Amino acid sequence: MRGSGDPGAELMCSSLAGPDCCGGLDNIDFRQADLCVMNWLLGYVDPSDPYFVAAVLTIAFNPLFWNVVARWEQKTRKLSRAFGSPYLACYALGGAIVLLNVLRSHCFTQAMLSQPRMHSLDNPTAYLVGLALLAVGGVLVLSSFFALGFTGTFLGDYFGILKEARVTTFPFNILDNPMYWGSTANYLGWAVMHASPAGLGLTAVVALVYVIAILYEEPFTAEIYRRKSSQLRKRS
């Protein structure tokens, strides 16, 4: 484990003492505590590793890309005009998203393989737990795709391809945004199967990015359907 042989770090960790209850926080040396924790973390995860950096960048870039492009299309309809059809434009964006997600998964896997495994996770039980998470994630992702269809999955509403009503069948009847959480479960399962602290850290980044994406996407999508409903009421 990297960093475990540093005598200075061991001395620093061993010298930490509990705070004096009457002295308040003034008796706590936060610099020592932080370095001790960082020494343990950096033994498993090297955030400067090129594969780890690439994984973080692809995780953050993908939702940014599809949201920027989809909103640009919703405002300008330039993709639809360029492809001659909103459906063809949506298919093109969907294909680009799939390729970017393949790249993200590749970078995620390479980041795990380039960094140490955690021995406490490297056992058959953890492997089975990871496999179960992969299965659950796969069911959520695939069932979401079949319920929404290609255009529903890949931002067709931004291209003016709207569904008649909100999808409420499985898995949307048990979970909001099942595609995102299924994808997160897939990455978590993959990380656990590889006993990878780096993978677990990257999975946390995936979950955080999806939470931000949901907060950004849902109000805008709701506004698109609100306008559609308002237009239908005016026509009737």
In tens, the pLDDT along 128-165 reads: 999 999 999 999 999 999 999 999 999 999 999 988 87
Residue 8 lies in a domain: no
Residue 102 lies in a domain: yes
The predicted pLDDT at position 166 comes to 79
Residue 145 lies in a domain: yes
Residue 66 lies in a domain: yes
Residue 73 lies in a domain: yes
Q: Are 184 and 203 in contact (CB under 8 A)?
A: yes
Rounded (5°) CA angle 211-180-62: 75
Helices (H), 45-177: 50-76, 78-83, 86-113, 124-153
Domain limits for position 121: 42-225
Position 80 pLDDT exceeds 60 = yes
H or E element that contains 205: helix 197-235
Q: Which residues are annotated as a binding site?
A: 135-137, 217-218
Place of tokens 């048990």: 174
Residue 33 lies in a domain: no
Residue 3 lies in a domain: no
Position 204 pLDDT exceeds 50 = yes
Q: How many domains does the chain have?
A: 1
User: What gap in Å lies between CA 112 and CA 197, rounded to an integer?
Assistant: 8
The predicted pLDDT at position 22 comes to 45
Q: What radius of gyration, in Å, describes the C-alpha atoms of the chain? A: 23
Residue 172 lies in a domain: yes
Q: Which residues are annotated as a binding site for S-adenosyl-L-methionine?
A: 135-137, 217-218
Position 25 pLDDT exceeds 60 = no
The predicted pLDDT at position 233 comes to 66
